[in-house]
Structure 1
């Protein structure tokens, strides 16, 4: 697949990929990897891709005067939806409780769809809504491996604190880099997250202190988008390593 064609099928959202991968990987290895995790991972990624293209189709169908703009998302949406059905339905037959997990994500996907259709995908609430089901996948992957919610709620909440914090933080680095309101809110969120994460486990104090430091120090320094993304990849990897080493 050429780079141009790949970009039409795969979203260029590096932060989203980290958010999809880290909670899933944490839940998988905390619960114990199984072959069924491969099918779950495929269904998880296919579901994200199908929803992304369906939302873009709705957004562009409403806003663009060029019918081809929306149409280019129709084919990937249908293809990923079909692949999701082929992958997810057999898994759901084998593990019927996964249907309840999928149903729990529906309200958050509905929020994202609403904001996409209104062309407000950068809205703070939209970003926070996307974080919840992504972090909830830690519990799903953990349960599939034989774990329980009692074992998984603390690492899942740690993921929620980190990825929830990335939403206002990234805005202070790019779209809202001149907003003191966003900066103060981001720092306040990270300070509160440090306290809560430390209560979950003292070992989480180190990464969350680092997250607070980067939210305090880096905004306003004119870092390029690629550098901001690289920093978040390192922060995500640190979170995963800490979760696996702690829980």
Structure 2
């Protein structure tokens, strides 16, 4: 695959990669890492990329006047879907409960697909809906290693953080001039700090930092790459804290 084609095949939703990786890694290492986690990780990423291209195909069929625009998503969607099936079917045979996890995630994926079809992918609710199955993956990877669903506290911690990134990033980019978004983001982060502290007092450390950045950085002209880098650091801080305190 050429570099140019590779860049077209990889989704450009950069914030999604941390949301896909951190809960997966947290659940894996809070439990007992197994060889099955590797094909599960590959299937997880392939499934995300297949879904992304399928949604873009639907969206562009509806809104684009250029017939080539939706077509360029067909090959990557089919390729990634085939890879997902090749890895996912054996996993489902070995661990049938994974089908229940897929069923639980399906309504959220369908809702995201609907928003894509309506060309409203940037809607606040759409972003929040995408966070739920991503954070739920922590429960799946923990279950794969430990045989139980006993990782609800770290999953909730991830949900609190990644849900907060949705309004916060909007205050930094698309809604940077909206006082309503700013007030809503700060209020959410204050509530998230209180809730995270109830889960574990050590979580107050990263969540205080998240509240400060939500209150201080909007309106200061921070460049988009810096916003992205700060969110990567925030994601890693969450992962390190969750693993260190073993919620």
Report the TM range for the smaller structure's normalisation.
over 0.9
Question: Contact 1:26 / 1:244 at 8 angstroms: preserved in 2?
Answer: yes
* Unmatched 5+ stretches in structure 2: none
Whether 1:230 and 2:229 are equivalent positions in the alignment is yes
Deviations 1:53-82 (A, max 9, x none): 000000001111111100000010011111
Whether 1:87 and 2:81 are equivalent positions in the alignment is no
Matched with 1:32 is 32
Whether 1:167 and 2:195 are equivalent positions in the alignment is no
Q: How far has the Cα of 1:2 moved from its partner?
A: 3.2
Matched with 1:188 is 187
Deviations 1:21-79 (A, max 9, x none): 00000000011110000011011001100000000000001111111100000010011
For residues 64 and 235 of structure 1, the distance between their equivalents in structure 2, rounded to whole angstroms, comes to: 36
For residues 48 and 238 of structure 2, the distance between their equivalents in structure 1, rounded to whole angstroms, comes to: 22
Deviations 1:99-152 (A, max 9, x none): 000110000001100000010000000000000000000000000001532x30
TM-score of the superposed pair, with normalisation by structure 2:
0.98
For residues 58 and 76 of structure 1, the distance between their equivalents in structure 2, rounded to whole angstroms, comes to: 14
For residues 2 and 213 of structure 1, the distance between their equivalents in structure 2, rounded to whole angstroms, comes to: 42
Deviations 1:201-239 (A, max 9, x none): 001000000000000000000011000000000000000
For residues 7 and 112 of structure 2, the distance between their equivalents in structure 1, rounded to whole angstroms, comes to: 21
Matched with 1:108 is 108
Whether 1:119 and 2:137 are equivalent positions in the alignment is no
Whether 1:200 and 2:219 are equivalent positions in the alignment is no
Q: Which runs of 4+ in 1 moved over 4 A?
A: none
For residues 104 and 127 of structure 1, the distance between their equivalents in structure 2, rounded to whole angstroms, comes to: 17
- Aligned-residue CA RMSD in angstroms? 0.7
TM-score of the superposed pair, with normalisation by structure 1:
0.98
For residues 2 and 225 of structure 2, the distance between their equivalents in structure 1, rounded to whole angstroms, comes to: 22
Query: SS of the counterpart of 1:33?
Result: coil
Matched with 1:18 is 18
Query: SS of the counterpart of 1:83?
Result: helix
For residues 12 and 56 of structure 2, the distance between their equivalents in structure 1, rounded to whole angstroms, comes to: 13
For residues 13 and 127 of structure 2, the distance between their equivalents in structure 1, rounded to whole angstroms, comes to: 12
Question: Contact 1:31 / 1:147 at 8 angstroms: preserved in 2?
Answer: no
**Number of residue pairs the alignment of both structures matches:** 246
For residues 195 and 130 of structure 2, the distance between their equivalents in structure 1, rounded to whole angstroms, comes to: 21
For residues 225 and 245 of structure 2, the distance between their equivalents in structure 1, rounded to whole angstroms, comes to: 30
For residues 180 and 32 of structure 1, the distance between their equivalents in structure 2, rounded to whole angstroms, comes to: 45
Question: Contact 1:30 / 1:142 at 8 angstroms: preserved in 2?
Answer: yes
Matched with 1:46 is 46
